[in-house]
Structures are given as C-alpha cells and as structure tokens.
Amino acid sequence: MNPDLHKPPPAKPTTDSRWGRVVRHPLARMLAAALAMFVPLALSFALMESLLPKGVGVAWTNLVAAGVCALGYWAYARRVERRDVSELSGNGAVVEWTRGAGLGVLLGLLTLVPLWALGVYRIEGLGDGLPLVKQIPEMLLVSVLEELLTRGVMFRIAEQAWGTRRALLLSTALFVAAHLPSEINLMGVLVTAAASLAFTAAYLLSRRLWLPMGMHFAWNYLFSAVFSVPVSGHEAQGWLRGSMSGPEWLSGGAYGVEASAIALLVWAVSSTLMLRRAHAAGQFRPRR
C-alpha cells in the first residue's frame, strides 16, 4: 500500500492568511489607529454640536474631544495591539507634562527675546486676559491630537517595523505636510521639521507622550495666547497686544514665528542635543 495515499493534501494558501498579512502591515496599523482616534473625535463634535446651544460650550467641546481622542488611541492599543499603553500611563504624567511645558516655554522665550531685542517683536498694549483662559482647551486638543497621531501612531509603529532613523524621517515628513500653508514657506518647513524632531526626541527620552505634549502645548499657547504672535500661519490674539515687523526671514511674515531664522536656530540646536542624548541612552532601535 502506498503510504502517500493516506497523507492529507497540502494546504492551499487562504485569503485569510493574505488578509492577516495586510492587517499586520505597518501602514494598515497606522490607518486603523488613526481611525480609532478620528471616528470618535468626529462623533463627539457632531453630538455636542447637536446638543449644546449655539455659541455655548466651545471650551467643553475641545476638552471632551481631546479626551475622546486619547480614549480611542488607548482602546486601539488595548484591543488591537493587546498591550499595556505605557506611553499614556497616568503614573508621573503630571510631572512629565509640566517638565515638557517648562521646556516649551524656555524654547519660546529663547526665540522671542532676541526678536524683541532686535525690535522685530513689539508690545503695543494689554488685552483683557480672556485669551489666557479661552485658548487653553483649543491648545490642549491640538497638542494631544497631533502628538498621539505623529508620535504615538506614525513614529511608534514605523519604528517597530523600520527602525528609529526611518521612523524619524517618516513622522517628520508627515508632521511638516500637515502644517504646510497654501503657499509653501521654506523657512517654515525647516522650523516645523526641527520642532517635530525635538518632539520625537522628547518621546524617545521618556518613551511616553506626556513630555512632547507639554512642549507642544506650551509653545503654541505662549505665542498665541500670551504674545499674540501667529503660529503656523494662524492669526493670534493674546493677552499682550504684540506685533512682528522687519525682514521676513526674521519676523516669519504671515506664517508667524515658526518661519523665523531665530526659531530655526533654537529648534535645530534643541532637537540635535535631545536626539544625541536619546542615542547615547540607547533609545535608537535598528531596523528589524
């Protein structure tokens, strides 16, 4: 008797295995994580828009949206990746976020003080102080959303698949693309890229998101809510009625402080120092 007659036929490739490879692909995981954030984010905005009276609850809307966005990210990591979400652990979060905010304020002052000394930035008066409170929820939402998406999703997943250096390039390119104005400003592109590298370095140093979130929030809040300086092309009306003038390479023009040569110097130096520190600490991972 031929023993081969009793052997089962070889298994044929199934669509399930192909589908499994697609789902496990880094780009598919990035898309799934992004959807886990943006779908509940959009639903929360739509729900609050329908329930709240017109013109009421803008602050609450942004705060709830930031929480929903973080919850969607956490749910994806727990349910799909099946892991502890250590990058959003509450243990020590306040301390790390505060340190990041302090660093963001320091970088902002290192940028603004030279511009003030050169006469590029001028204080023309005081406002009523309302922007100091009103802009907190908006800046929190921006920092939470962008850091979760850029560092938590894009960089983290890309680093696992392709190593730290390639992930740095990808996440920086996406961060810059998300901040491009209608008319491309080369200086603005360079500053945004340098800032993105610094935020990612902050993530590498802690392997958590609180530090870059604090940096991101403080930079935006300081210029927009306090000094009335445009950020990434968005007009600002803060507590101090300030204005920028002079050559565009110093003032940043319509794009704001993030297209200033001083800002480029500050962010380039800080990102270089932080990345070198992260590399020395063994936080750069090779390609699989």
**pLDDT tens column, 85-108:** 999 999 999 999 999 999 999 999
Segment 142-200, tens digit of pLDDT: 999 999 999 999 999 999 999 999 999 999 999 999 988 767 789 999 999 999 999 99
Stretch 25-33: mean pLDDT, rounded? 93
**Closest to 206 in 3D by CA, of 150, 281, 134:** 281
List the domain boundaries for the chain. Answer: 91-280
The pLDDT of residue 129: 85
What is the pLDDT confidence band of residue 236, given thresholds at 50, 70 and 90?
confident
Tokens of 96: 């790390």
Handedness of CA 150, 154, 157, 158 (dihedral sign): negative
β strands within 19-168, DSSP E:
121-126
Distance between first and last Cα of the chain: 48
Instruction: Tell me whether residue 268 is exposed, middle or buried, using C-beta atoms within 10 angstroms of its C-beta: 0 to 12, 13 to 18, 19 or more.
Output: middle
**Closest to 136 in 3D by CA, of 52, 226, 233, 255:** 226
CA distances from 130 to 55, 135, 165, 190, 241 (A): 16, 8, 42, 32, 13
